[in-house]
Amino acid sequence: MQDKTPWEIISAAASLPLTNQRQEYELLIANPTTETLSTIQFQFGDENTTYWMDNIQMFDANITPTNPSEYLIFEFNATITEKSVSLDGQYLDAHGTLYDGNVMIPPYHSVVLIKKECLGTGAILCPQSDCDYSSNPIQPNTYFASNQVSSSGIVQQNATIEFLAGNLIQLNPGFTVQSGGAFEAKINNCMIQSPSSAMHQ
């Protein structure tokens, strides 16, 4: 926010969960306007609790926000007859079912689809906005959640794992990439086109 009157908010606020365990977070702070004096504020809900923050780093990043309607479809059918919705490409639902050209929605049902080119072949889609993939070992695949992916699992030798998330990827204590395993985590470029990603091999 501005560090002078009228103290206007520059970038949208973000909320993060706090626990009694050490966590690592990555946030995008957008600056839609040029501001000579600005400040970052941290607000906590409990004034009687002690919090520790360390290793805070800030980096410049060039991003291109995209329109969610370009890769996500939400449709519902409020009628007593089946409804056909045209698609401009190939889409997947939360169960991995592929739709091409159109999707049929039964009466009083809805569907949420994501464009296949965002995920690649065989990706595991989280049916909720947040998902935790902490199996030991994590099975080789691409795992996607529209908001957050978290894990404390193990990437085995010779396994390749990719995490894609719309906003946050959280690697919790216990998460391990064994020697010879490959792991990549990135904010899905269907949502924010960003050069930032993490690769461990």
Residue at token pair 């070992």: 137
Looking at the fold, whether 160 and 192 belong to one and the same domain comes out as yes
Q: What is the pLDDT of residues 119-132, one digit of tens each?
A: 655 667 776 778 89
Q: Which domain holds residue 70?
A: 65-118
Looking at the fold, whether 107 and 128 belong to one and the same domain comes out as no
Residue 153 backbone dihedrals phi, psi, to 5 degrees: -85, -175
| 65 pLDDT higher than 70 | no
Tokens of 30: 């957008």
Longest dimension (CA), the chain: 58
The mean pLDDT of 42-62, rounded to a whole number, is 79
| 199 pLDDT higher than 50 | no
Q: Is residue 12 part of a domain?
A: no
Q: Which of 157, 162, 160 is nearest to 145 (CA)?
A: 162
Domain final residue pick, 54, 87, 118: 118
d(CA 192, CA 39): 24
Q: Which residue has the higher pLDDT, 56 or 46?
A: 56
Q: What is the pLDDT of residues 173-186, one digit of tens each?
A: 999 999 999 998 88
What is the model's pLDDT at position 156? 92
Looking at the fold, whether 104 and 69 belong to one and the same domain comes out as yes
Looking at the fold, whether 76 and 94 belong to one and the same domain comes out as yes
Q: What share of the chain is helix, strand, coil (3-state, %, to 5)?
A: 5, 35, 60
| 76 pLDDT higher than 90 | yes
d(CA 108, CA 100): 22
| 190 pLDDT higher than 80 | no
Domain final residue pick, 87, 103, 118: 118
Looking at the fold, whether 90 and 144 belong to one and the same domain comes out as no
What is the model's pLDDT at position 173? 92
What is the model's pLDDT at position 121? 56
Query: The CATH number of the domain where 108 resides is what?
Result: 2.60.40.1180
Total count of domains within the chain:
2
What is the model's pLDDT at position 96? 66
Q: Is residue 102 part of a domain?
A: yes
Looking at the fold, whether 128 and 194 belong to one and the same domain comes out as yes
Q: What is the pLDDT of residues 4-29, one digit of tens each?
A: 777 777 777 778 777 788 888 877 77
- pLDDT bucket at 198, cuts 50 / 70 / 90: very low
Tokens of 86: 């045209």
| 104 pLDDT higher than 90 | yes
